[in-house]
Amino acid sequence: MKSKRRSINNLISRPFQKQPKIGKAPGSVIYLGKRRGEKFRVSLMHYNEAEITEEPLEKVEAFVLSPTSRGVNWFNIKGLSNTEEVETLGKSFGLSALTLEDIVNTDQRPKMDHLDDHLFVVVKMIYPGDVNQFHIEHVAIVLLRDTVLLFQEVEEDVFEGVRERIRSSYGRIRNRKADYLLFALLDAIVDQYFIVMELMGNKIEQLEEKVYEKPNADLIHEIQALKKEVLELRKHIRPVKELVNQLIHIENSLIAEDTRPFLRDILDHCNEIQDNIDLYREMSVSLMEIYMSNMSNKMNEVMKVLTIMASIFIPLTFIAGIYGMNFQYMPELHERYAYPMVLGVMALMVIVMLIYFKRKDWL
C-alpha cells in the first residue's frame, strides 16, 4: 500500500509538461522544450543552377527577400526557445498563429498541414549521443513557393550532407525547386533513422548476450530502460510514414509531379524502418521473458541441488537418530564393529542414492 501511495504522490508532484499552455488561447506561441537559452540564429542559403550565397542574417527585416530573386531560399532558424523572434519571423512570412504555435510546441507529434499558400511539416530529428543514448530534437519545416523555412531547437543537425550537395552542385538539387529541398531534408532525417536503428539493434544484441550468459538482478533495469527507449523511438518514427504518404498524394502546386517519386523512395525507407522498430519492440519484450525464464531455470537448478542434498541426508539423519536414542537394550550397541558397520551402511546408502539420481538424470 505504501509503494502505491508513493507512486501516486510522484505522479501528482511531477509537473505537468503542458502546464504553461493550460488556459491559453489557441495560437499562443509558447515553447515547451527543455533546450532553453539557445541563441537565436538565422542563416540564409540562396541558390540556383548558376550561383549560391550563404550568409547569417541579423535583422528580421532582412528575412523577406525581394520577389525578383531567382532560385531557392533556405532559411535555417535555430533557437526555438526565443519565441518572440520566432513569432516575428513567422509573421514576416505570413504564417498563421496556429502554425507558429506548432513550430515551438516540442510535444507535437510528426504531422503535415496543408494550407493555402504553404505546407507545414513537423518531424523529430534523432541522432546518437553519449553513452549509447539518443537525442530527439523537434524540427519544423515550412514550404513556400520558392522558400523553405527550417526551424530547429539547437545548432546540431543532420543536414550537413544536404548543404554540401548544394555547395558542390552535386546531383540535381541545384536545378530543382523548393519542394525538392523539402524532400532532401526529410530524406536526411529518415536516413539518420537507419543509423539509430543500427545502434538500437547493437544494444539489443549486447543485452541478449548478457541475458543468456550473465543474468543478474541489475539486468532487469537495463531491459526496462531499453523497452522505454524503443517505445519512445517508435512514437516519433512511426507517424513519419503517414506524413510522407500525405505529401505524395496531396493536390498542391507546391509539390511538383516529378518530386513525388523521390517522396515514394522515402516512404519505402519508412516502411523498412517501421518493420525494424516493430521487430525491436517485440525483441525488447521477449528479452524480459527470456530473462525471467533464465532466472527461473537458475533458481530451479539451485532448488534441485538442495533437494538432492536433503534427500541424501534424510536417511542418514534417520539412522543417526535411531542410534541417538538412549535405550538400554539395543543389540548393536554391544557389538565390537557396530559403529564402523553403521557408517559403512550410511556410506553405501549415499553411493546407491547418487547412482540412482545419476540414472534418472537428476545430477
Do domains 13-294 and 302-359 share one topology? The answer is no
Q: What is the pLDDT of residues 231-286, one digit of tens each?
A: 989 999 999 999 999 999 988 889 999 999 999 999 999 999 999 999 998 888 88
Strands 72-78 and 147-152 come out as parallel
What count of other Cβ atoms lies within 10 Å of the Cβ of residue 267?
A: 19
Q: What is the pLDDT of residue 260?
A: 93
Q: Where are the domains of the chain?
A: 13-294, 302-359
Strands (E), 144-258: 147-152
- How far apart (Å, rounded) are the C-alpha atoms in residues 298 and 212? 11
| Whether 349 contacts 318, CB under 8 Å | no
| Whether 301 contacts 221, CB under 8 Å | no
| Whether 150 contacts 182, CB under 8 Å | no
Q: What is the pLDDT of residues 275-319, one digit of tens each?
A: 999 999 888 888 888 877 777 777 777 788 888 888 888 888 888
Q: 150 in helix, strand or coil?
A: strand
Tell me which CATH code domain 302-359 carries.
Answer: 1.20.58.340
Burial level of 13, CB count in 10 A (0-12/13-18/19+)?
exposed
Fold for the domain defined by 13-294: Beta Polymerase; domain 2 (3.30.460)
Give Dmax (Cα) for the chain: 124
Q: How much is the pTM?
A: 0.76
Burial level of 42, CB count in 10 A (0-12/13-18/19+)?
buried
Cell of 326: 538412549
How big, in percent rounded to 5, are the helix, strand and coil portions of the chain? Answer: 55, 15, 30
Three-class secondary structure assignment of 54-83 = EEEECCHHHCCCCCCCCCEEEEEEECCCCH
Asked whether the predicted pLDDT for residue 192 surpasses 90, the reply is yes
Q: Bridge-partner residues for 143, per DSSP?
A: 119, 148
- How far apart (Å, rounded) are the C-alpha atoms in residues 251 and 247? 9
The one-character DSSP state at 258 is G
Q: What is the pLDDT of residue 270?
A: 94
